[in-house]
Structure formats: structure tokens, C-alpha cells
């Protein structure tokens, strides 16, 4: 019976790979790059930076950079705490986009985790429509720590596990944001010029990914992820795919954090592998925006092969 199950997994893996590359099943889909910008408009964003309030600097930087992105890049702007989608994820219409950005006002707290989930869910919905093709990024622009740290800690690995790239820009912060070591890229912006440059670099990476730079550059985006986060990526893919991020997963992971942190910090030796960690090749495919079903197919084949041995 076990042999049949293992053989079945092996065959299903091959079928999944074959389906993706079968010409007769290819649908004509408009493949786009997708970026959701989560903008911190909390009260502290009204304080000065280089003589100008941070919110004004952020608005100007976003308008300048977003006005230069290709039309093939879909953009969404999500504002917290008292805002919403000032510009829902979709085609860039410069006049409407600029007006939406100008409407952002500062005031309130920093419910970062809740808005990261909303932005990620919009990206997952878009990816479902594009059958897994295209690139998907969540850009967080913030000047402070979250008020809902438990949600940030829970949602972040789940978002990353879906193949969404998270970029964070810390605006005029005294020290690095706690997300700095948990996301794909972190940039500090201490003045208007550096904030504009940081946003420009993120969108430059979107364009680079679209032109097929999927070798060393793409691997660099995922190479520095924590081992525990990387291990969860494939596990989560097998059950969640493009479905919205679930709150129960957040609470489960948040409850595991103290135990996981204490067990990892107690030993200075190398982390022992249990044989279930994803390979660098699999993570590379995920970081490059490889359709989820291809990755699952390869993962099934590899695991089935191991089990048969």
C-alpha cells in the first residue's frame, strides 16, 4: 500500500509538470508585474525629515517613481491606519494615481500587520487570475514599528511562503525596522533623495525580473532568508496556493515563535537537517516567479524519489 502511494505521488508530480508545459492547455493570459505599495500614514509621518514632513516627502517620491514605471506594471496603493485602497491594484493611470497619492494624510497608529495581509491578498487574487505567471511584490514604506507585532510576525512568513517578494523601506528611523532581517530587501531612507532612490531601486528590480534575469540576481533575493522561513515556504505552498492568508495560521505561528527562538538560540553549532528542507533549486524557482503548480510538481517528484529509496 505504501508503495502505491509513493508511486502515485511520483506520477502526480510528473503530471503536474506536464500540464504546465502542455501547449494544448496554455491559455492566453495577460501577464503583468504587480506591486502593492503599503504606505504608513501614521501620526509620526507628519514629523519633519530634512526640514519637510515625512508624508510630503513620501508622496513626492512615490509620484516621481510611479510615473516612470512601465505600463505593463500594475500598481496598487494601500494606506494605513485611517485610509484604505487609495488606488486599487490595476493599470497605472498617472493622473488618477497622482491624485490618489496626494490625498494621503498622516495621523493615527501603525497597524502594519493587518495591512500587509490586505496587500498580500490582493496580490494573490491577481496571481490566481494570471495562473501563477508574472511577478508579485509588496513594498512597505514606514517610519515606525507596528502596533500589531503579533500579526506582523505571523503574516510575514506566510506571505513569503506564497512566493510574494516583500521589500521594506525604513523612513528616517533611528535603527533598522524589526522586519529588516525577515524580508527580501530592506533599505534605509534618511532624506528625500534616499527615499526616492530606495523606491526607484525596488521598481528597477521589478523591471529586471520581467526581462528574464532569473539566475544569480533572482537567487540573491532569496539567499538571505532565515532557514526557518525558507523551510515553511514549500510546506505552505502545498496547502494554501493563491487563497487568502488565514488568521488561524497567524496565531499558530505566533504561538510557536517563542519556542522556535529559544531552541535556535541555545546552540552555537550548525542546524541539523531533517531532510525536509527545500532545496536551493526549489527556492530559486519560487523566487523567480515560477508558477506554483510547476514547483509543486517538482517537489512531489523529488519527495517520491526519496521515499522509494
Q: How far apart are CA 128 and CA 273, in angstroms?
A: 33
pLDDT of amino acid 130: 86
Which H helix or E strand runs over 140? strand 135-142
Q: Do β-strands 73-80 and 85-90 pair in parallel, antiparallel, or remain unpaired?
A: antiparallel
Rounded to whole angstroms, how far apart are CA atoms 32 and 165?
15
Q: Residue 198: name the closest of 145, 143, 161 by CA.
A: 143
Q: Which helix (H) or strand (E) holds 249?
A: helix 247-265
Q: How many residues are listed for the chain in this entry?
A: 309
Please give the average per-residue pLDDT across 244-265, as a whole number. Answer: 54
Query: Comparing 255 with 176, which gets the higher pLDDT?
Result: 176
Highest mean pLDDT among 166-175, 255-264, 276-285: 166-175
Residue 222 above 60 pLDDT?
no
CATH topology of domain 33-210: Rossmann fold (3.40.50)
Cα distance between residue 174 and residue 144, in whole Å: 9
Q: Does this model's pTM top 0.85?
A: no
- Pairing of β 165-171 and β 135-142: parallel
Are 278 and 233 contacting, i.e. CB atoms less than 8 angstroms apart? yes
Reported as a single tens digit per residue, the pLDDT across 11-65 is 455 444 444 444 444 445 567 899 999 999 999 999 999 889 999 999 999 999 9
- Average pLDDT over the chain, rounded to an integer: 75
User: Phi, psi (5° rounding) for residue 186?
Assistant: -135, 135
Please report, for the chain, the start and end positions of each structural domain, with discontinuous segments joined by +. 33-210
Give me the pLDDT at residue 289, please.
Answer: 47
pLDDT > 50? residue 286: no
Q: CA–CA separation, 211 vs 91, rounded Å?
A: 19
Q: At residue 79, does pLDDT exceed 80?
A: yes
Residue 165 is predicted with a pLDDT of: 96
CA-CA distance, 75 to 93, in Å (whole number)? 9
Rounded mean pLDDT of 251-266?
A: 49
Distance CA 140, CA 215 (A): 25
Tell me the three cell numbers of residue 12: 502526480
Report yes or no: 287 and 188 within 8 Å, Cβ to Cβ: no
Amino acid at each position: 500500500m505504501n508503495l502505491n502511494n509513493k508511486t502515485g505521488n511520483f506520477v502526480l508530480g510528473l503530471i503536474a509538470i506536464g500540464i504546465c508545459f502542455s501547449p494544448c492547455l496554455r491559455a492566453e493570459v495577460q501577464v503583468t508585474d504587480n506591486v502593492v505599495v503599503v504606505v504608513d500614514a501614521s501620526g509620526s509621518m507628519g514629523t519633519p525629515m530634512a526640514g519637510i514632513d515625512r508624508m510630503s516627502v513620501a508622496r513626492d517620491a512615490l509620484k516621481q517613481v510611479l510615473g516612470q514605471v512601465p505600463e505593463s506594471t500594475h500598481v496598487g496603493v494601500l494606506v494605513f491606519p485611517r485610509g484604505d485602497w487609495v488606488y486599487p491594484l490595476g493599470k497605472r493611470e498617472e493622473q488618477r494615481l497622482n491624485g490618489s497619492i496626494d490625498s494621503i494624510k498622516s495621523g493615527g497608529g501603525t497597524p502594519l500587520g493587518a495591512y500587509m495581509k490586505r496587500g498580500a491578498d490582493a496580490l494573490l487574487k491577481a496571481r490566481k487570475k494570471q495562473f501563477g505567471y508574472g511577478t508579485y511584490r509588496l513594498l512597505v514604506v514606514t517610519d515606525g514599528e507596528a502596533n500589531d507585532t503579533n500579526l506582523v510576525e505571523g503574516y510575514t512568513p506566510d506571505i513569503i511562503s506564497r512566493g510574494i517578494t516583500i521589500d521594506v523601506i525604513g523612513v528616517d528611523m533611528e535603527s533598522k525596522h524589526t522586519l529588516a532581517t525577515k524580508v527580501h530587501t530592506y533599505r534605509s531612507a534618511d532624506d528625500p533623495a534616499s527615499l526616492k532612490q530606495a523606491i526607484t531601486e525596488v521598481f528597477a528590480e521589478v523591471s529586471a525580473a520581467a526581462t528574464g534575469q532569473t539566475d544569480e540576481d533572482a537567487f540573491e533575493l532569496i539567499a538571505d532568508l532565515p532557514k526557518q522561513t525558507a523551510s515553511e515556504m514549500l510546506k505552505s505552498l502545498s496547502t494554501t496556493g493563491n487563497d487568502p492568508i488565514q488568521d488561524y495560521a497567524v496565531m499558530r505561528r505566533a504561538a510557536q515563535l517563542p519556542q522556535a527562538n529559544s531552541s535556535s538560540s541555545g546552540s552555537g553549532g550548525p542546524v541539523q537537517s531533517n531532510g525536509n528542507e527545500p532545496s536551493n533549486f526549489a527556492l530559486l524557482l519560487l523566487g523567480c516567479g515560477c508558477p506554483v503548480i510547476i514547483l509543486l510538481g517538482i517537489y512531489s517528484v523529488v519527495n517520491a524519489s526519496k521515499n522509494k529509496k
